[in-house]
Amino acid sequence: MQNTISLPTPVSPIKHFIKKWGATIFVTLTVIVITIWQYSVDGRVTEAVLASTIRQSTPLVLGALCGLLGERSGVINIGIEGQMLLGAFVGFLVNVWTGNLLVAVFAAIFTGAIMGLLLAYMSVHLKMDQIIGGTVITTLAFGLTGYFYQVGLTTEGKLLPIPLGPLADIPLIGRAVFNNPPITYATFVLVILVHYVLFYTKWGLRTRAVGEHPRAADTLGVDVYKVRYINVIAGGAIAGLAGGFLTLEAVGSFERAMTNGRGFVALAVMLFGKYTPLGAWGAALLFGFANAMQTQLQFADIQVAHQFIGMLPYVLTIVILSGFVGRTRVPAADGVPYEKE
Amino acid sequence: MTEENLALEIRHVTKRFPGVLANDDVSFTLRKGEIHALLGENGAGKTTLMNVVYGLYTQDEGEFLIDNNVVEINGPSDAINYGIGMVHQHFMLVPVFSVTENMILGSEVTKGTSLDLRRARREILEISEAHGLEVDPDAIVENIPVGVQQRVEILKALYRKANILVLDEPTAVLTPQEAEDLFRVMRALTEKGVSIIFITHKLKEVLNVADRITVMRRGKVVGHTSPHETDQKGLAAMMVGREVLLEVKKAPAKPGDVVLEVANLTIEGERGLEVVKDISFEVRAGEILGIAGVQGNGQTELVEAITGLRSIDAGEIVLMGKKVPFENPRYLVENGMGHVPEDRHKHGLVLPYNLADNFVLCTYYQKPFAGQMLMRNHQAVFENAVGLIKRFDVRAPGADVPASTLSGGNQQKVIVGREFSRPLKVLVANQPTRGLDVGSIEYIHKEIVKMRDEGVGVVVISAEIDEILSLADRIAIMYRGKIVTTVDAKDATREQLGLWMAGVQPEAA
Ligand SMILES: Nc1ncnc2c1ncn2[C@@H]1O[C@H](COP(=O)(O)OP(=O)(O)OP(=O)(O)O)[C@@H](O)[C@H]1O
Ligand SMILES: [Mg+2]
């Protein structure tokens, strides 16, 4: 009987590698080629584009982190926009009152966390429809900020870039990467941190289990409700920080509805990044890059209506990401309230 | 009676669900180091009782004693701390996790802040070796066969050092060989002082391994016995409350035209391995082809391909003389194919839907279930459900309860009822009686034979040699993705089938 068993041939590892990383490598190379080409034409423009890429991507990737913490544990959060906006507003107000930027940043984070708590209460405890829960939060944020906002409030400035010594002088990337204000640096750290927590720690394992098969987690003594509460609250805090970025670091003041859809774009970024922090970062950077290029094109002398150029980053992102990035796997229990009995 | 050495005592537990009294004043004792079989019809309340013990449900009345002390169990983590381990009737595994990740979830080993997967992996291999339960710690659970998944479940409890082990129908998905291995593991465990509650519907197994037997019916304990006081017939009667026929009665088959033809079918599974290799067979109207084989030899993939759930890499499938378009379940449904799937949760039912909706999953868009305009005909849907619930003896409080609240065996009856009530030409039944009580098995076997006698071509896939032997007219044996041989059921013996299933090549005759 030995002669009849032929060993199966597995797919070659090269094929597997290309399938998994091909799209990422291709897009990255394209971006690098465009950048180098542009650098050879005009170095200063390139530096501006890169700096703008980072700036634009920061609130998006923070929003995406908020979204994926929730969804990895099974709670859909479409209230990111609202959490951001309220964080931005409260951060701004606290800055106006105290003049202390650090306190203001923590106020923004705290506000986001409270909104996270509200969402968790609605979706985990009350088992409300999570889409409605998220909408409640966004509507609430728009309503509150619109009502309490007074024109004419001014602040004592905003968070300023901190150059990281000689690193900031590296040509091309020095200014964009190593000369940023604190929340941007914090974002770099957060992306790595959340990635680490999600995929390499006990908490992350439990979070993913709860998002995939809460009952299995429950039978092993994992407190499904607690895991969901904490992740959603942590996500809210990160969204609050994104709001803080807008008022305390990027703009320096508050305007009505200033989040301008970033909370929703963040959701797309999260999806394109396949629910991983590093993936979301890549997607956010790509979007930021396309956006920065778009701004440059507006200055260039091209006979195309500026609305079309304005669309470019969105179109490009959709084409690249839907064309190259494979299927995203949504956590199995995403959006499903957990019933104990 | 003298003071007994009890590992667990359940006193007067009552548990109600809306409309159902699942446990009615149940008392139960488990001695140290014994294997105590818990028997009962589908829906008798066995799983519920165990879930209460394990802290997943809170009892309405009653209390527990562990080592003769009253304990409060408020959740699974309490149960785990008291040394209770449970292998659930339906897998509690995260499909996208690796075996290792599933094993450590909730009892993680860490190094600093990180998971120590390497150490966990080593520990798992140690336990798995110590108990002879072989698993690949790196495999992703959704890619491994159910039989191996079950092994992971058992290891999960052992990994948590359980000394009271609840096994809720662990052998339902195991082959006789695997079941034997499990019994060896169970006996070895009892020798180390582990006490085991063993739930099963297979009476032979009970007589084989149990020290004591408790029987439940409709939420109540109806009797205690032990293997030397009774036999299969006695147990069956005790469970069901009437005489049960343990053998299938059937006339010789009268095969007609070929209704299903599978030609040179080849399927690549995950990671590009060929899981089905160049398989060909045909099924005639009015015969039952049994496909016997140890779990994981390509039967799952073969059935998924035949029933349109999976794409194939070579070959063709011909239904009623027409080549079947691939991955098109609706074509198959409309052309007379019925399917009783292996995994009832994944492919058989929409668990959150009520029974009435589950009964019309294949036909909801047809008359009479689809009414005027875009409306549904609720009355027809419900009448259909009420009829089938009665005909197939589904134990449920009504047609409007979610399928998820039914006991495992009753869920299976819902699927069988849905499929058997459609006009069929071909019926593919994969493990059709898995998890059913003797009364229901008797009934479903009778229905399958009736289908055959009405001219349906039937394919029964089963890992139970007994089921294959008693149902099939012809038997094909599958091993490593191939059909090694096909024999007439009259000429087949248990022993010979067992050898072929284990990979011994048939003699060239
Ligand atoms: N979560 C629930 N909600 C409502 N009813 C339930 C729930 N779980 C079980 N039941 C009901 O309780 C009764 C007992 O079910 P249980 O699962 O304990 O039966 P069982 O003896 O394990 O049967 P089987 O052998 O088919 O697994 C059934 O009538 C079932 O419908
Ligand atoms: Mg059960």
Residue B509 has pLDDT above 60, yes or no: no
Q: What's the gap in Å between A215 CA and the centre of ligand 1?
A: 16
CA nearest to A242, candidates A113, A84, A132:
A84
Chain B residues with a Cβ under 8 Å from any Cβ in chain A: 17, 54, 56-58, 75-77, 80, 86, 88, 91-97, 101-102, 104-108, 110, 113-115, 156, 271-274, 480, 503-505
Residue B3 has pLDDT above 70, yes or no: no
| Residue A197 to chain B, least CA–CA distance (Å) | 8
Residue B350 has pLDDT above 50, yes or no: yes
Q: A201 vs B115: CB contact, 8 Å cut-off?
A: yes
CA nearest to A279, candidates A329, A240, A222:
A329
For chain A, the average pLDDT equals 87
* pLDDT at residue number A325: 65
* pLDDT at residue number B344: 86
* pLDDT at residue number A5: 34
Return phi, psi of residue B24, to 5°: -120, 95
Question: Which of the ligands is closest to the CA of residue B46?
Answer: 1
Architecture (CATH level 2) of domain B337-422: 3-Layer(aba) Sandwich (3.40)
> Which 3 state secondary structure label does DSSP give B438?
helix
Residue of the CA atom closest to atom 28 of ligand 1: B43
Q: Is A167 on the interface with B (CB under 8 A)?
A: no
Q: B97 vs A218: CB contact, 8 Å cut-off?
A: no
Residue A318 has pLDDT above 60, yes or no: yes
Residue B177 has pLDDT above 60, yes or no: yes
Q: B96 vs A212: CB contact, 8 Å cut-off?
A: yes
Q: Mind listing the pLDDT tens digit for each residue in A264-304?
A: 999 989 988 889 999 999 989 988 888 888 887 777 767 77
Q: pLDDT confidence of B1, banded at 50, 70, 90?
A: very low
- Name the fold adopted by B254-326+426-432+456-509: Rossmann fold (3.40.50)
Percentage of the residues of chain A whose pLDDT score is greater than 90: 52
Q: What angle do CA B324, B325, B327 make, to 5 degrees?
A: 115
Would you list the domain boundaries of chain B?
A: 3-240, 254-326+426-432+456-509, 337-422
Residue B292 has pLDDT above 80, yes or no: yes
Calpha distance B462→B229 (Å, rounded): 31
For residue B156, the chain A residues in CB contact (below 8 A) are 220
Q: pLDDT confidence of A120, banded at 50, 70, 90?
A: very high
Percentage of the residues of chain B whose pLDDT score is greater than 90: 50
Q: A221 vs B96: CB contact, 8 Å cut-off?
A: no
**Equal CATH topology for B254-326+426-432+456-509 and B337-422:** yes
SS (H, E, C) chain A: CHHHCCCCCCCCHHHHHHHHHHHHHHHHHHHHHHHHHHHHHCHHHHHHHHHHHHHHHHHHHHHHHHHHHHHHCCCCCCCHHHHHHHHHHHHHHHHHHHCCHHHHHHHHHHHHHHHHHHHHHHHHHCCCCHHHHHHHHHHHHHHHHHHHCCCCCCCCCCCCCEECHHHHHCCCCHHHHHEECHHHHHHHHHHHHHHHHHHHEHHHHHHHHHHHCHHHHHHCCCCHHHHHHHHHHHHHHHHHHHHHHHHHHHCCCCCCCCCCCHHHHHHHHHHHCCCCHHHHHHHHHHHHHHHHHHHHHHHCCCCCCHHHHHHHHHHHHHHHHHHHCCCCCCCCCCCCCCCCC
Q: What's the gap in Å between A130 CA and the centre of ligand 1?
A: 29
| Residue A9 to chain B, least CA–CA distance (Å) | 6
Higher per-residue pLDDT: A161 or A319: A161
Percentage of the residues of chain A whose pLDDT score is greater than 70: 92
Q: B92 vs A216: CB contact, 8 Å cut-off?
A: yes
Q: pLDDT confidence of B379, banded at 50, 70, 90?
A: confident
Q: pLDDT confidence of B270, banded at 50, 70, 90?
A: low
Is omega for the bond preceding A8 within 30 degrees of 0, making it cis?
no
* pLDDT at residue number B425: 92
Pocket of ligand 1 (CB under 6 A): A 341; B 17, 20, 22, 40, 42-48, 89, 395-396, 405-410
Query: Closest ligand 1 atom, CA of B40?
Result: 21
Residue B123 has pLDDT above 60, yes or no: yes
Calpha distance B323→B345 (Å, rounded): 29
Query: Closest ligand 1 atom, CA of B44?
Result: 21
Q: Mind listing the pLDDT tens digit for each residue in B294-344?
A: 877 888 889 998 998 888 888 989 999 888 887 788 888 888 999 999 888
Residue B265 has pLDDT above 50, yes or no: yes
Return phi, psi of residue B506, to 5°: -70, 145
Q: Mind listing the pLDDT tens digit for each residue in A55-90?
A: 999 999 999 999 999 999 999 999 999 999 999 999
Residue A9 has pLDDT above 70, yes or no: no
Instruction: Classify residue B345 by its DSSP letter.
Output: I
CA nearest to B50, candidates B15, B1, B2:
B15
* pLDDT at residue number B2: 46
Strand-pair partners of B15: B23
Residue B371 has pLDDT above 70, yes or no: yes
Most confident of B11-15, B147-151, B364-368: B11-15
CA nearest to B197, candidates B69, B92, B89, B76:
B89
SS (H, E, C) B86-115: EECCCCCCCCCCEHHHHHHCCCCCEECCEE
Q: B86 vs A219: CB contact, 8 Å cut-off?
A: yes
Nearest to B92 among A201, A202, A215 (CB): A215
Q: Which of B53, B54, B96, B168 to mutate to test the interface with A (most CBs of A within 10 A)?
A: B96
Q: A219 vs B105: CB contact, 8 Å cut-off?
A: no
Element spanning B462, H or E:
strand B457-462
* pLDDT at residue number A7: 38
Higher per-residue pLDDT: B36 or B374: B36
Average pLDDT over residues A151-164: 80
Q: pLDDT confidence of A326, banded at 50, 70, 90?
A: low
Average pLDDT over residues A94-107: 93
Q: pLDDT confidence of A321, banded at 50, 70, 90?
A: low
Nearest to A222 among B101, B106, B110 (CB): B106
Residue A1 has pLDDT above 60, yes or no: no
- Determine contact, residues B266/B274, Cβ cutoff 8 Å: yes
Strand-pair partners of B9: B29, B65
* pLDDT at residue number A291: 85
| Residue A163 to chain B, least CA–CA distance (Å) | 31
* Length of chain A in terms of residues written: 341
> Which 3 state secondary structure label does DSSP give B443?
helix
| Residue A324 to chain B, least CA–CA distance (Å) | 21
Q: Mind listing the pLDDT tens digit for each residue in B385-444?
A: 999 999 888 988 889 999 998 888 889 899 999 999 989 999 999 988 888 888 888 888
Q: A205 vs B104: CB contact, 8 Å cut-off?
A: yes
Range of lowest pLDDT (A11-25, A30-44, B218-232):
A11-25
Average pLDDT over residues B98-120: 92
Average pLDDT over residues B126-140: 89
Entry pTM? 0.82
For chain B, the average pLDDT equals 89
CB-CB neighbours of A146 under 10 Å: 12
Residue showing tokens 């459609």: B422
Percentage of the residues of chain B whose pLDDT score is greater than 70: 98
Indicate the CATH number for domain A40-153+169-327.
Answer: 1.10.3470
The b/e string for A250-270 (b: 16+ C-beta within 10 A; e otherwise) is: bebebbeebbeebbbbbbbbb
Q: What's the gap in Å between B98 CA and the centre of ligand 1?
A: 30
* pLDDT at residue number B116: 92
Range of lowest pLDDT (A34-43, A235-244, B95-104, B410-419):
A34-43
Q: Which CATH number fits domain B3-240: 3.40.50.300, 1.10.10.10, 3.40.630.10, 3.40.228.10?
A: 3.40.50.300
* pLDDT at residue number B271: 63
| Residue A195 to chain B, least CA–CA distance (Å) | 12
Alpha-carbon Rg for chain B, nearest whole angstrom, is 23
Q: pLDDT confidence of B272, banded at 50, 70, 90?
A: low
- Determine contact, residues B426/B459, Cβ cutoff 8 Å: yes
Nearest to B273 among A10, A213, A329 (CB): A10
CA nearest to B157 within chain A:
A220
Question: Which of the ligands is closest to the CA of residue B412?
Answer: 1
